[in-house]
Amino acid sequence: MKRIFGAKNSKEPPPSIQDASDRINKRGESVEDKVKRLDAELCKYKDQIKRTRPGPAQEAIKARAMRVLKQKKMYEGQRDMLYNQTFNLDQVSFAAEGLKDAQQTMTALKSANKELKGMMKTVKIQDIDNLQDEMMDLMDVSSEIQETLGRSYNVPDDIDEDDLMGELDALEADMGNETEADGVPSYLQPDTEPILMKGLTCLHHQPGGRTTGAQPGRAQAEDEWGLPAVPRASLRG
């Protein structure tokens, strides 16, 4: 059958946007090289015109320069057209890539949506609420256990708090009265009564029936409380 009717010609796949853009860029580069070559030739003709005198020779050089300039203008037009085509292809390629990215994003979102729905079937709000309630009950029980274990055994349960507050106020009032004079409570002041009584006893009588007193004509010394000082011999004995 293929020999009779012939085989179908296999069609080549259409060129992609990138292939077309690369082909146009190559053509643009080729035209750009031609423009540069014509620019160099124009510079050479310009120098020759400057060096030659006005006349037929200079007019011939100007004619060649004009022909080269026309070619340059033609190539520049082709170059600009190719650059415009390349720009259009780039815009189309950018749009195509954006659509591909959008398709991939939609596919990823659909997959994530399906996975989330499957996960939500296994997680229920009621179960979470029940779990939270159980945790709160456990924490309350734990607090009660800690409070029970921290209770003191020596403190009786029938103590009235009002009585304790009254005793505390009275204690604070006593401490305030004691500290008004010199700022030191009485239980922190030194005990001076035994020393005072001992000094008074030694002043009354000495062995031999003589009363100890100040000698005539001499001022009697006083102790730190304003009383007559006790002689050291009398204290020894």
SS3 category, 222: strand
pLDDT of res. 211:
46
Task: Give the Cβ contact number of residue 42 at 10 Å.
Answer: 17
Q: Give pLDDT tens digits along the chain (237 positions).
A: 455 555 556 677 777 878 888 888 888 888 889 889 888 888 888 888 888 888 888 888 888 888 888 988 998 998 899 989 989 988 988 898 999 999 999 999 999 999 998 888 888 888 889 999 999 999 999 998 988 887 766 666 666 677 778 888 888 777 766 555 555 555 555 555 555 555 555 554 444 444 444 444 455 567 666 666 666 554 444
- Cα–Cα distance between 230 and 228 in angstroms, integer? 6
What's this model's pTM, rounded to 2 decimal places?
A: 0.40
Of the candidates 211, 191, 203, 190, the one whose C-alpha atom is nearest the C-alpha of residue 235 is 203
Those residues whose C-beta lies under 8 Å from the C-beta of residue 75, and which sit 6 or more positions away, are 31, 34, 35, 38
For residue 85, give both structure tokens. Answer: 């085509």
Torsion on CA atoms 118, 119, 122, 125, rounded to nearest 10:
-120
